[in-house]
């Protein structure tokens, strides 16, 4: 197996949940937002992130969404400042412990969507969160369970934003402006907000 993807292990594969379908593509994502590689056909792992804002009980706006191949995700990570990356690693290491992962996997035996029921960091129930992002790892037409998927509440994202250097925030704003699907009216709202917490 390729070195760069050895880190991930995927004990289980499930159908791609509707939450990870694309509005723009009217179904499953097919294409990397940066290099336009056909990620679904490629047989290689790829990542999807989508961001939601709840308007009322039955309606949520999608603020942005994208699929990205591993090569492009790595390039983005390399472009982030070392300082920001180190802080993010420390932040997430509190939450991504082996014990938590084991519990997540056990939970998913019965319900692969159980992981979306609360914020990975804060533990807040999804119904009490008005803005959140979900991230997942995929191969072909399957979602892979392991470190992914997860849900992050706005509260957690605001803490993460505090950790990022100005340079990294600019980098992410550029990425969002140039590559992501989503209505332009949300651009101001999303400014400085982290994307891509891999």
Binding-site ranges for Zn ion (CB under 5 A)? 32, 34-35, 37, 69, 72
CB of 154 to Zn ion, least distance (A): 27
Give CA–CA dist 176/170, Å, rounded.
Answer: 10
* 73 vs 134 by CB, closer to Zn ion: 73
CB of 35 to Zn ion, least distance (A): 3
CB of 39 to Zn ion, least distance (A): 7
Tokens describing residue 110:
């019965």
CB of 61 to Zn ion, least distance (A): 26
* 32 vs 190 by CB, closer to Zn ion: 32
N- to C-terminal Cα distance for the chain? 20
* 35 vs 114 by CB, closer to Zn ion: 35
* 75 vs 191 by CB, closer to Zn ion: 75
CB of 47 to Zn ion, least distance (A): 10
Buried b (16+ CB within 10 A) or exposed e, 7-17: eeebeeeeebe
* 39 vs 160 by CB, closer to Zn ion: 39
Of 152, 181, 136, which is closest to residue 15 (Cα–Cα)?
A: 136
């Amino acid at each position: 197996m390729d070195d760069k993807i050895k880190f991930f292990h995927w004990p289980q594969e499930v159908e791609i949940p509707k939450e990870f379908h694309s509005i723009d593509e009217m179904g499953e994502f097919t294409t990397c937002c940066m290099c336009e590689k056909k990620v679904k056909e490629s047989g290689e792992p790829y990542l999807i992130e989508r961001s939601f804002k709840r308007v009322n009980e039955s309606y949520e706006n999608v603020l942005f969404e994208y699929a990205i191949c591993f090569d492009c995700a790595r390039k983005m990570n390399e472009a982030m400042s070392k300082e920001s990356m180190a802080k993010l690693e420390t932040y997430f290491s509190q939450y991504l412990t082996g014990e938590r992962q084991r519990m997540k996997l056990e939970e998913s035996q019965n319900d692969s969507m159980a992981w979306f029921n609360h914020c990975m960091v804060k533990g807040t129930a999804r119904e009490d969160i008005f803005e959140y992002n979900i991230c997942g790892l995929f191969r072909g037409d399957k979602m892979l369970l392991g470190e992914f998927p997860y849900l992050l509440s706005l509260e957690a994202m605001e803490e993460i934003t505090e950790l990022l250097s100005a340079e990294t925030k600019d980098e992410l704003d550029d990425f969002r402006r140039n590559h992501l699907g989503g209505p332009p009216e949300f651009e101001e709202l999303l400014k400085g907000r982290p994307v891509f917490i891999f």
